[in-house]
Amino acid sequence: MQEHVLFVDDEVALGEMLSLYFQHKGVSVTTATTIEEALSELAKHSFQLLILDLNLAGQDGLEVLRSVKARQPELPVVIFTGLDVDENLVKRCLADRADGFMRKTDGLEKLFAEAQRHLHH
């Protein structure tokens, strides 16, 4: 079975780039740009990983994280953010049971390596 990742970010071009990169590496990607789209995709499909931006056009990605972990506690969630990251933000994400934390400046190779760590856990 091909691994299937849900990528939630309101930057459409970034989602397209990530999808192409991951698909080239053999991982299927579905993208969502809003909390509503993300929750709809999670209800319709089975995913092995959720990669989640925290700032979704004014919506709070932590809401998605909490909602997902309440419904599917076993689904790994990696936070992928362009926000200024401080220790309190990381602590809040981990308290809400994020499984990983990446900065957008880390790049796709590092993100893919982090995804693989969770997909093959």
Domain boundaries, the chain: 4-119
Amino acid in the structure at residue 77: V
How many residues are given for the chain? 121
Strand segments, DSSP code E, in the chain are 4-8, 28-32, 49-52, 55-56, 59-60, 77-81, 100-103
121 residues of the chain, pLDDT tens digit each? 679 999 999 999 999 999 999 999 999 999 999 989 999 999 999 999 999 998 887 778 888 899 899 989 999 999 988 766 677 877 888 888 999 988 888 888 999 999 999 998 6
Domain with residues 4-119, CATH architecture: 3-Layer(aba) Sandwich (3.40)
